[in-house]
Structure 1
Amino acid sequence: MPLPSPRGLLPAQVAVPRALSGVQTFGAEVAPESVGLSRSAIQTVDRALAAVYRSGAYPAASLCLRKHGQVVFHRAYGHARGNGPREPAGSERQLLDLDTPVCLFSASKAVTAILVHQLAEEGGVDLDAPVAHYLPEFGRNGKAGVTLGEVLSHRAGVPGLKIPKAERRVEMLNDWDGVIERICAAPGGRLRPVAYHAITGGFVLGEVIRRVTGQTIQQYLDAKLRRPLGMKYFQYGLAPEHRERVALNYSAGMPVLFPVAPLIERALIVPFDEVVSASNTPAFMDAVIPAGNLYATAEELSRFFQMLLDGGVWQGRRILKEETIARAVQPRGRTVPDAMLLLPMRYSEGMMLGGPMSLFGPATGGVYGHLGFMNILGWADPARALSGALLVTGKAVLGPHLLPWAALMAIIGRQLRTSN
């Protein structure tokens, strides 16, 4: 096996200009004083977001923060396309404005989970009932007793699809019925350890919605969340008329090598770089992948979490009952090592949960949200009356970007904790 070249071991980075004024965009923001914040707090968050961009791992980074329901921060740095790591010099560049759609990847799981909770609220499903009650063929090979709640909390025992290497293609996810058949035929069961279901859980939940309602999950999303919340994008996949503006995804950071590479391939079917390149193709944007290809802006994702934070109400219209949200964000067990991610994780039935130290920063025990491949994040923080969304287009596992990313989350929690 040949050794990688020295260049191949260097981090792939974006060309970052010394002055960032030419690559920053601003959205409408309320005066911070109107929600009990200082201007210096907003400036501190802006410097932290700039440091994330300066890390060189992200061609673009956008952040939207709401305090008491008001947008206090809505800004972006970088390019939607044309300034990716190792991209040819002179490539045409397109700034990422705040209306640019970005793939949320696994942050889509939070939205899919809420759709299932909404169906339970309507009486269509019982989250404590076996999946096989709604999808009989799922009950094969040890999965007869697996409940919807266990699928939502990554306890169904089917975290990945076992596919011969020669057959692995991202395009296979376009074959909805074929994916469902593979998942139903797979061995699993509730006695398996907690293991992140990167792709499989979303398909199971989407098929249950289809069997119960007669609607595709795309249609159900449109009726229950997208149109009631007034979203422009917020769909699985992306309509052709929006694709000329979509933010492209780029491999970045340190090369993904052993032992990390096989772990990612086990979860995502194909190698890391293939996932990234495939995500920019029409086939991926045509697909419906409930666990991984919802498109939105940072403001739209923040809007979704703000609705949850407000007890299911958006602009005076009730979308969900408070008790529905309470169950969706209630911890399902304690923090345990996740057998797929190899990290300590605490889940609800659909959300990743905060803690003393977590993805969401320090002292975030009441926070709920979801991470997306690799450093996308949407969340709600009841203690700080805060909802937020951070969207990035560089896909980096290891590298110098991790510290400024973590620092940004800590700074948001510290600077935006003041409340009226």
Structure 2
Amino acid sequence: MTRTMLGSRLVNVGDGGLAHVTGVDAAAEVSPHAVGLSASAVDSIWGGVESLYRSGAFPAITFCLRRRGEIVLNRSIGYGRGGGPGETHGPYARLAEPDTPICLFSASKAMTAILVHKLAEEGGIDLGERISHYLPEFTGGGKHRTTIAQVLSHRGGFPMFNVAAAESGPETLLDWNRCIELICAAPAERGGKRLAYHAITGGFILAEIIQRVTGMAFTEYLDTRLRQPLGMRYFTYGMDRRSRTRVARNYVAGQPVRFPISMLARKALSADFEEVVEISNSDYFMDAVIPAGNLYSTAEELSRFYQMLLDDGVYGGRQVLAPETIRRAVRPAVSLRFDHTLKIPMRYSEGFMLGVNPFGLYGPMTGKAYGHLGFMNILGWADPSRELSAGLLVTGKAILGGHLLALGQLLSSISWQCRSL
């Protein structure tokens, strides 16, 4: 074991063989005993992160775990750039750091949803109102009855649109106005009844409502309602040019994606798996605002967001969200049932993927947890029963492989070591 000093105590940074690629935010981490954990419990959790890295699917991992509002782990492992599959660690390789920004992909949906709930809190919208009340053109294909609440819980009836029909292919996802046109014209699929994850489409419609009602750019609303009140450095859609050299690069990893999984992935992502990864590293992707898929954050910032939700909307003595707003946002809206996009049983609130007993997205016996998954294996979540909030960010994009077992073991370790109340 390799250890480093943190104040007056030693902090385990894990396997000595990985110490040279491990970064520790020593100033932030508190003693495990201060939050009801043992040192061995924290070591076990971090060991799970190391095992996840050793699976080979993730060139970089950043992880932040809060317990009872205090940071017990805020660390990185691996290379932010220059350490992907088949790459040598040349002169331009750069280690990831705990404060390295990484694209959250679909984990961004939780922030978009909370902004919609915030606008409802402010009296700007009614979540039970039809979308066409705010976007009159949203009537194509029988969607005129679809409500905001239905979109938040993935029952809007427009889970995907055919980007291939547009002249520019998947780059259309970076054209806001064109996306709104395509979505408004798309036919509905049993709106309000059929559960089907809206991978990209729902975010654009929800953000467009915010813009129409407030007269503000979506990113400005985010900035004033979340980013500034929470004191975030990044935590915004897209990335400014000054900060792009710090962004971790995404890589295709894991086993090759073949039919039928490749077909399902393409339908959900509106582009081929490899193409999505390639586009995500481009300047034009970072120039764009994709409300369901390109918020950039550190693991600590993601954990901070979920901790604010755990703390009834309070951060730094300031009421960021009303407690009743959070209660509605995390309340189950859809019981566990088959999701026709993801092809697995899912349980949703109006904006979050919910935990499941005996085992769900956030580990074993996490039925009270809420958060969101991002492409692929990115996770941000809060578990009120364990008084924890966490952010797990990875740069390898892998569907199948041994990393799934390592991920399950890590989530199990977090759940078992942070005992339920």
User: Aligned to 2:321, what secondary structure does the other structure show?
Assistant: coil
Matches within 5 A, 1:10-409: 19-27=17-25, 28-88=28-88, 90=90, 92-164=92-164, 167=167, 169-188=169-188, 189-191=190-192, 193-356=194-357, 357-409=359-411
Report the secondary structure of 1:143's partner residue.
helix
How far apart are residue 408 of structure 1 and its match? 0.4
SS of the aligned residue for 1:124 comes to coil
TM-score (norm 1): 0.94
Residues in 1 aligned to 2:378 and 2:168: alpha-carbon distance in whole angstroms: 25
Pairing 1:417–2:408 present: no
Residue identity matched to 1:393 = T
Between the aligned partners of 1:404 and 1:379, the Cα distance in structure 2 is 18
Equivalent-residue separation in structure 1 for 2:242 and 2:204 (angstroms): 26
State the SS of the aligned residue for 1:265: helix
| Distance in structure 2 (CA, Å) of the matches to 1:290 and 1:345 | 21
Preserved contact between residue 169 and residue 269 of structure 1 (Cα < 8 Å)? no
1:139 is matched by which residue type in structure 2? Answer: T
**Letter of the structure 2 residue corresponding to residue 23 of structure 1:** V
CA drift of 1:168 comes to: 5.8
Please report how far the alpha carbon of residue 269 of structure 1 lies from its aligned counterpart in structure 2 after TM superposition. Answer: 1.2
State how far apart, in whole Å, the 2-side matches of 1:219 and 1:170 are. Answer: 26
Q: Distance in 2 between the 1:108 and 1:366 partners?
A: 21
| 1:165, distance to aligned residue in structure 2 (A) | 6.0
Report the Cα offset of residue 315 of structure 1: 1.2
State the distance in 2 between where 1:316 and 1:390 align: 26
CA distance in 1, matches of 2:179, 2:270: 12
Name stretches of at least 5 consecutive residues in structure 2 with no aligned partner: 1-14
Identity, in percent, stands at 56
Quick one: distance in 2 between partners of 1:164 and 1:304? 35
Task: Describe the shift of the 1:90–1:137 C-alpha distance in structure 2 as closer, same or farther (beyond 3 A).
Answer: same
User: How many correspondences in the alignment?
Assistant: 403
Aligned partner of 2:11 in structure 1 is none
- Contact 1:218–1:236 (Cα < 8 Å) also in 2: yes
Report the AA paired with residue 185 of structure 1.
A
Specify the SS of the correspondent of 2:74.
strand
CA distance in 1, matches of 2:147, 2:125: 11
**Whole-angstrom distance in 1 between the partners of 2:274 and 2:191:** 32
User: Comparing 249-258 with 170-179, which one deviates more in the overlay?
Assistant: 170-179
Assess, with a 3 A threshold, how the Cα gap between structure 1 residues 191 and 366 changes in structure 2: closer, same or farther.
closer
Deviations 1:62-110 (A, max 9, x none): 1101111000111111010101012256463100011211000000000
Contact 1:52-1:404 at 8 Å conserved across structures? yes
Aligned to 2:247, the other structure's residue is in SS state coil
* 1:340-387: CA deviation from partner (whole Å, max 9, x where unpaired): 000100000000000111010010010000000000000000001100
| Alpha carbons 2:62, 2:76 under 8 Å: kept | yes
C-alpha contact 1:25 1:76 (8 A) present in aligned 2: yes
Whether the 8 Å CA contact 2:238–2:288 is kept in 1: the answer is yes
Secondary structure of the corresponding residue to residue 335 of structure 1: strand
Change (3 A) 1:88 1:41: closer
Quick one: distance in 2 between partners of 1:191 and 1:218?
28
Residue 250 of structure 1: CA displacement? 0.1
What's the C-alpha RMSD, in Å, of the aligned pairs? 1.4
Change in Cα spacing, 1:121 to 1:53, as seen in structure 2 (3 Å) is same
Amino acid at match of 1:402: L
Question: Contact 2:223 / 2:236 at 8 angstroms: preserved in 1?
Answer: yes
SS in 1 for 2:333: coil
Amino acid paired to 2:365: A
- Extract unaligned runs of 5+ from structure 1: 1-16
Q: For the residues of structure 2 that align with 1:32 and 1:418, how far apart are their CA atoms?
A: 16
Moved more, 84-93 or 189-198: 84-93
For 1:20, give the aligned amino acid. L
Distance between the aligned counterparts of 2:254 and 2:85, measured in 1?
Answer: 9
- Whether the aligned pair in 2 keeps the contact of 1:332 and 1:347 (CA below 8 Å) is yes
CA distance in 1, matches of 2:395, 2:135: 36
Name the aligned partner's letter for residue 55 of structure 1: S
Classify the secondary structure of the residue corresponding to 1:292: coil
Query: Quick one: distance in 1 between partners of 2:166 and 2:420?
Result: 55
With normalisation by structure 2, the TM-score equals 0.94
The residue type equivalent to 2:176 in the other structure is W
Q: 1:171, CA displacement in angstroms?
A: 2.1
Following superposition, the deviation at residue 333 of structure 1 comes to 2.2
Describe the SS at the equivalent of 2:209. Answer: helix
**Native 8 Å contact 1:160 1:200 kept in 2:** yes
Output one character per residue of 1:179-227: Cα deviation in whole Å (capped at 9) or x when no partner.
Answer: 1010000011425510000000000001000110001110100000000
Cα contact 1:30–1:71 (8 A) shared by 2: yes
Q: Deviations 1:43-76 (Å, cap 9, x if unpaired)?
A: 0011111000000000011110111100011111
Q: Give distance in 2, aligned partners of 1:57 and 1:137.
A: 43
Question: Could you tell which deviates more after superposition, 255-264 or 157-166?
Answer: 157-166
Distance 1:166 1:317, change over 3 A: closer
Distance 1:388 1:271, change over 3 A: same
Counterparts of 2:300 and 2:127 in 1: how far apart (Å)? 30
